[in-house]
């Protein structure tokens, strides 16, 4: 029978400045993620907290340190800084508790080299200075040991491993310096125990994430608390000891989660550039083409979260920890997982007969188009398939939809290793009714700009009404025609901008025209 080692907890009670209340005032919650989308809840953290360090070793997920709060009285928060260390085994579904850290810390980072886990930086008290401490856990001996401190104290930092060296960058010296984050970067050699300075980041930043891939270190998002934040992405090349600007995120994102899956970066949640709204959206980065694109909505987090952790293990993405937005942010205890996508739809979800379906393979495999509601079981998918296509990792393909009947569909992917993608991409195929893309193609008006005559061409014959308005919204011309082509003489109109409205039954389209 396992026994729980002593867990170190530090408590602080006080009134926080407004910005810190917004960022750090959390209460342990029992709320769960809503159902829906491609994420699945698999367990709950036994000690819910945020600002944890996390990593993977020997098929287990390690959750290290962190913080949570309780409300001691209205308007007062009691902060609990944790030294606890938990592990979760996704294969068995079992949680375990290991020896605690020597010091209680939150906003900590954890990295792995060989069979050792390094717990780096963070803070022991948000009213004090950040920590420069590093502790190392030997998995075989099951004990923590202190190493020499980092050259600089860092909290809300970035940390990762490249070529068996630990790199730490950015962060803040204390919460009193939230508006002045660090630019510096240092690397640590675990063999020699020595630190070395590296080229500084182009700008001071905190609350960002780091991912190492292809011989580079990517610093993603983050920024300066209390001000607008851009979604900057910078890449560090250790051979050149220099930083290069990469394509930016679609917008500011801070205290988000990020991980590497199938050679692509996944970034989810965090805070928007205009605090306080949290995000549920997910973006995907293809480092080969240096492009970001939004994930489909079904791959968004089920709920808006910040301060979360994300990592990958055995073809799955895990997200956990984090908090909700609001005057009092609640810690979310749920562990959720997302299968590595095999294929995803990049357009839609409403498409027409004249459209093509645009898809991207995230890894080598086969896609199947099936009717909506087909069970996510291989035999059912194979029996129900209407279309089947094979593709390579990161390949984009287009599929004409002219031969599919009207209806609702899903796209499932099966990887080359015969793994079924749990998630699907839905789309709706509707030939006539309510499709904006089809409406815009039904009527064309030319030339534009025009001098005297305009021609109205429709793709379907019928009875149409034409209304022409000036920029003040006054109706100045109205007529009807039957057929598929009609000319209108507008020589009596003055030069300027006009709005033309063409309607037939429930169908209506408007276009802006310019009279020269």
Domains of the chain: 9-32+40-339 (2.120.10.80), 343-429 (2.60.40.10), 443-515 (2.60.40.3080)
Determine the pLDDT at residue 250: 82
Most confident of 249-253, 349-353, 410-414, 441-445: 410-414
pLDDT of 435 strictly over 70: no
Distances (CA, A) of 147 to 55, 109, 188, 423: 19, 15, 11, 43
How large is the average pLDDT for residues 315-323?
89
Determine the pLDDT at residue 328: 55
How large is the average pLDDT for residues 138-153?
95
Determine the pLDDT at residue 9: 52
The Cα angle at residue 135 between residues 163 and 200, in degrees rounded to 5? 50
Residue 238 and residue 515: Cα distance in Å, rounded? 59
Share of the chain above pLDDT 90, in %: 42
Nearest to 50 by CA among 28, 74, 33: 28
Average pLDDT over all residues of the chain: 84
pLDDT of 433 strictly over 80: no
218-227 per-position pLDDT tens digit = 999 998 876 6
How large is the average pLDDT for residues 317-342?
81
Residue 164 and residue 114: Cα distance in Å, rounded? 8
The Cα angle at residue 490 between residues 487 and 494, in degrees rounded to 5? 160
Please say whether the beta carbons of 146 and 134 come within 8 A: yes
- DSSP bridge pairs for 367: 389, 413
Most confident of 80-84, 130-134, 427-431: 130-134
Q: Which range is least confidently modeled, 34-48, 342-356, 439-453? A: 439-453
Determine the pLDDT at residue 14: 39
| 176-204 b/e (C-beta count within 10 Å ≥ 16 → b) | ebbeebbebbbbbebeeeebeebbebebb
For residues 310 and 37, the model is more confident at: 310
For residues 423 and 27, the model is more confident at: 423
With cut-offs at 50, 70 and 90, classify the pLDDT of residue 161.
Answer: very high
- DSSP bridge pairs for 44: 334
Determine the pLDDT at residue 228: 58
For residues 152 and 372, the model is more confident at: 152
pLDDT of 182 strictly over 70: yes
Determine the pLDDT at residue 96: 96
Distances (CA, A) of 321 to 120, 162, 270, 318, 409: 18, 26, 12, 10, 34
299-308 per-position pLDDT tens digit = 899 888 899 9
Instruction: List the structure tokens of 28.
Output: 């342990």
pLDDT of 99 strictly over 50: yes
Instruction: List the structure tokens of 185.
Output: 């970067």
pLDDT of 461 strictly over 70: no
């Amino acid at each position: 029978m396992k026994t729980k080692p002593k867990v170190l907890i530090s408590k602080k009670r006080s009134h926080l400045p407004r910005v810190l209340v917004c960022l750090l005032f959390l209460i342990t919650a029992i709320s769960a993620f809503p159902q829906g989308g491609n994420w699945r809840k698999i367990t709950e953290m036994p000690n819910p907290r945020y600002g944890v360090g996390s990593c993977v070793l020997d098929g287990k997920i390690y959750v290290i340190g962190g913080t949570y709060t309780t409300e001691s009285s209205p308007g007062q928060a009691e902060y609990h800084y944790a030294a606890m260390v938990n592990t979760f085994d996704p294969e068995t579904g079992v949680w375990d508790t290991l020896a605690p850290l020597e010091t209680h810390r939150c906003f900590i980072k954890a990295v792995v080299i060989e069979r050792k886990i390094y717990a780096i930086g963070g803070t022991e008290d948000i009213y004090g200075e950040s920590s420069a401490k590093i502790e190392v856990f030997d998995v075989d001996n099951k004990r923590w040991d202190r190493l020499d401190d980092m050259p600089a104290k860092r909290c809300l930092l970035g940390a990762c491993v490249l070529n068996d060296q630990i790199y730490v960058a950015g962060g803040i010296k204390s919460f009193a310096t939230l508006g002045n984050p660090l630019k510096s970067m240092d690397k640590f050699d675990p063999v020699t125990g020595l630190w070395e300075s590296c080229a500084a980041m182009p700008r001071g930043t905190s609350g960002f994430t780091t991912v190492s891939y292809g011989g580079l270190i990517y610093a993603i998002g983050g920024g300066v608390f209390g001000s607008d934040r851009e979604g900057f992405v910078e890449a560090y090349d250790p051979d050149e000891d220099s930083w290069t600007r990469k394509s930016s995120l679609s917008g500011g994102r801070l205290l988000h989660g990020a991980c590497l899956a199938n050679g692509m970066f996944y970034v989810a949640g965090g805070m928007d550039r205009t605090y306080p709204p949290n995000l549920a959206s997910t973006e995907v980065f293809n480092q080969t083409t240096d492009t970001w694109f939004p994930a489909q909505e079904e791959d968004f987090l089920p709920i808006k979260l910040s301060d979360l952790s994300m990592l990958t293990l055995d073809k799955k993405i895990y997200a956990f920890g984090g908090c909700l937005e609001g005057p009092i942010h609640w810690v979310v205890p749920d562990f959720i997982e997302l299968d590595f996508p095999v294929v995803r739809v990049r357009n839609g979800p409403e498409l027409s007969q004249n459209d093509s379906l645009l898809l991207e393979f995230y890894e080598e495999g086969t896609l199947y188009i099936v009717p909506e509601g087909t069970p996510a079981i291989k035999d059912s998918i194979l029996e129900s398939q209407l279309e089947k296509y094979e593709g390579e990792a990161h390949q984009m393909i287009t599929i004409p939809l002219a031969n599919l009947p009207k209806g609702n569909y899903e796209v499932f992917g099966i990887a080359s290793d015969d793994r079924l993608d749990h998630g699907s991409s839905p789309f709706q195929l509707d030939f006539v009714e309510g499709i904006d893309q089809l409406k815009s193609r039904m009527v064309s008006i030319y030339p534009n700009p025009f001098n005297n005559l305009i021609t109205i061409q429709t793709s379907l014959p019928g009875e149409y009404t034409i209304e022409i308005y000036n920029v003040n919204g006054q109706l100045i011309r109205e007529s009807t025609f039957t057929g598929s082509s009609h000319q209108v003489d507008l020589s009596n109109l003055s030069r300027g901008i006009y709005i033309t409205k063409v309607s037939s039954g429930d169908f209506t389209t408007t276009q802006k025209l310019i009279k020269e």
